[in-house]
Amino acid sequence: MRQVTEGDRGSLEYLMVTPDAGSCDVVTDGVPLDRGPDHCVVALLVTRDLTEYRGLEHQIQQEAAEHVRERAELEMKIQAAEERTASAVAGRGAERGREGLAADESGPTRADLDARIEAAEARAESALAERDAERGRVELAAQNDANERAELEARIEAAEERERAFVVARAAERNRVGEALERARVQLLELKDLRDQAATHGRGLSGGLPVARAASHEHATVVA
């Protein structure tokens, strides 16, 4: 609180040990009131418990970390879906290559060719169906990812809004404490002025009494 001893306002946050061997975060706001002739500073200090504020800060940090983790998981799911699609496309290409190689090595009959054509068409239809199904799964996963991402962004925005509200509330609380300290300082200075005036007035009255007694005594002596 060096600022307070130098005549300025100041705040200090620290960990205070409670009588039950616990601890809590507190903040002390100070405002100087007067500086005496011996260079001693009279200050008004107000200490507030920050446990609730610290809990809010910890909650916001946990929510932000959870949002980051969930976003990373979504990105991994999207990457895995894309890899599965690429693998299916590569598999279809390899199958077609094997079919062409087998046709070159042997001299199939018309029936064999028809059977192979039907089998190839069936495999092609199956591959197309699998591709369509995979595409549907990818699109559904992408839609779910978009929905989850929108929900995460909404939650992050809500957390940021709570954090901003917390900062605003804390600033307002500090302003109220500062205003209260300023009013208290003004009232104490006014009380000091009234006390000094009363003391000065009392010394003036006590100084006039001996003169009055002396004057009355002298008058009595003259009359006698």
- 166 and 59 share a domain? yes
pLDDT value, residue 1: 63
Range of the domain at 44: 1-49
> From residue 217, how far is each of 91, 99, 206, 208 by CA, in Å?
133, 145, 18, 15
- 61 and 6 share a domain? no
109 vs 208 pLDDT, higher one: 109
pLDDT value, residue 109: 67
CB 10 within 8 A of CB 2: yes
Residue 36 lies in a domain: yes
- Answer yes or no: is pLDDT of 89 > 80: no
- 26 and 110 share a domain? no
Residue 179 lies in a domain: no
- 22 and 104 share a domain? no
Residue 206 lies in a domain: no
Running DSSP on this structure, what letter comes out for residue 20?
Answer: T
Section 204-224 average pLDDT = 43
- 62 and 153 share a domain? yes
Structural domains counted in the chain: 2
Give me 43's structure tokens: 């200050």
Across 53-57, 75-79, 200-204, least confident range: 200-204
Section 183-206 average pLDDT = 80
Residue 188 lies in a domain: no
Given 171, 195, 217, the domain boundary residue is: 171
Rounded to two decimals, the pTM is 0.36
Mean pLDDT of the chain: 76
Section 61-73 average pLDDT = 86
pLDDT value, residue 212: 40
Written as one letter, the residue type at 8 is: D
Residue 150 lies in a domain: yes
pLDDT in tens, 99-154: 665 555 555 566 776 787 788 788 878 877 887 887 788 788 778 877 887 887 88
pLDDT in tens, 143-184: 887 788 788 788 888 878 888 888 888 888 888 888 888 888
- 167 and 96 share a domain? yes
pLDDT value, residue 203: 67
Going across the sheet that includes 41-49, the strands are 10-17, 23-35, 41-49
Residue 139 lies in a domain: yes
- 45 and 63 share a domain? no
